[in-house]
Structure 1
Amino acid sequence: MAAAEPIPVADVTQSTDTDDGWHLSATLTRMAINSVPNMAATAFTREGFVTGKVVATIGGNGAIPVNSGTVILGLQLGCQVDLSEGGSLNAGGDIGITPGFNHGDPFDDIGPYADLNAGGSINLLPGNITNIGLGKKALKGRIGEIVVNDAHVKVDGCGGQVAIRFFATAMIDTDKSDDSVNAYGDILTL
C-alpha cells in the first residue's frame, strides 16, 4: 500500500497582551501530516510523519522586564477506543467416545463426540488524548522558533480513528506575572 500525500494544515496565530504590557504571540506554519501504513500491519496501530514550525514573539514595551521565555511545539493525539489493556481468548474442548445404554439398541448411543467451547474478552476503555512534545526552546530574545521535518508519530492499541492536531505554546515570566498563549492547528485523522 502506498503512502498518501501529506495533508497541509492551515496556518494559525494566537496572541495576547499581558498585564505587564507585552504582546506575546505563537504562530504555527508549514504544518503537514503524512499518514502511512504502519510497519506492524496491525489494525490497532496508526503511523505517520509530521512537519511544522512555530514562531514565538515578544513585542511591545512592557513596564516590567521579561526574565525568561519558552516556546513549545507539540502534537495532541486522540484515540477513539483504547485497547491497550488487551484481551484474552479462552478455548477448550473435549473429545472421546460416548457409550450409550438406552432401552433400545445399545449401539445407537455409542460414537465419537466433540464438545468445543470458546470464550474471550476485550478490555475496551474510553478513548484518550495524549500530548507529545516535538520541541522546546528557551527564548533568548524577542523571537524564538522550532522547526520539525518529518517527525515520526505512532499510536498503538487504538481501535477506531486517531485524531491529530498541532499545538504551540509561548510563555514568558516577569517579576510580576507568568503569561502564556496557545495556538492549535486543525484536527485531522492520522
Structure 2
Amino acid sequence: MAGGVAVADPLPVADVTQSADTDDGWHLSASLTRMTINSVPNMAATAFTREGFVTGKAAATIDGNGGVAVNSGTLVLGLQLGCQIDLSEGASVGGNADIGINPGINGNVLNDIGPYADLGGNVSVNLLPGTITNIGLGKKELKGRTGEIVVHDAHVKVDACGGPVPIRFFATAMIDTDTSDDSVNAYGDILSL
C-alpha cells in the first residue's frame, strides 16, 4: 500500500471592497474578489518552509465628477506574509570530548580513579523576531476610470520560518491630481499558508 501526500482544497477568501471620497471630489474604490489560497506540502519537505498557490482579482474604480482632473492612477495587487519566528540566521552544532584518567581521590575510589570520558556538545539556534513581508503580484496603470489585475495560481513560498505563516491579500488604488494624491487600501481575511 503506497502512501501519498494529502492535498487540501483551496480555501476561499471573502470578497472585500474599500472606498473613499477624495478632497477633489472623486470616489475611489479598491476591491478584492475571487481569492483562494491553496497550501501544498513544500517541495523541499522541510519543517521550516511553507508553499502554496494563490488566485485572486483586484479592481480599482474612479467614480464621480471631481473638481480637478485625474492625472494618473495605479492599482497594485499583493500579499502580506507573516513569519512568527525568523530562522534565517541558521543554527550550529558543536562538540568536544575529553578522555583521560582521573587521578583524584575523594573517598570513593571506584568513582575517582580510572578512565573517564567527558563528552560535551552544544547546539545554537539563532531565533529572530518574526516579520511581515509584502509581495507584489501585479501593478497596473489605470487608463480611464477602471482597471483590474487577475492572477491564477501564483506561487508563494516562505523559507526559514518557525511557526505558522499567516497570509492575506491586499489591493491599493491610487490617483494623482494637480492638488492631491489619494489612495484606498482593501485587505482580505487572514488565513494560514
Task: Tell me if 1:181 matches 2:189.
Answer: no
Unpaired runs of 5+ residues, structure 2, are none
CA 1:167–1:99 in 2, change beyond 3 Å: closer, same or farther? Answer: closer
Question: Within 5 Å, which residues of 2 pair with 1:56-95?
Answer: 56-95=60-99
Aligned-residue CA RMSD (Å): 2.0
State the identity as a percent.
76
Q: TM-score, normalised by structure 2?
A: 0.91
Distance 2:177 2:125 in 1: 51
The aligned residue for residue 119 of structure 1 is 122
Question: Within 5 Å, which residues of 2 pair with 1:20-169?
Answer: 20-95=24-99, 98=101, 109-111=113-115, 113-169=116-172
CA 1:80–1:101 in 2, change beyond 3 Å: closer, same or farther? Answer: closer
Q: TM-score, normalised by structure 1?
A: 0.92
Distance 1:18 1:180 in 2: 9
Distance 1:12 1:101 in 2: 76
Deviations 1:45-70 (A, max 9, x none): 11100000001011111111000000
Following TM superposition, where does structure 1 have runs of at least 4 consecutive aligned residues deviating by more than 6 angstroms?
none
The aligned residue for residue 10 of structure 1 is 14
**Number of residues paired by the alignment?**
187
What letter is aligned with 2:172? T
Deviations 1:138-188 (A, max 9, x none): 001100000000000011111101000000000000001000000000000
Point out the structure with the larger strand share: 1
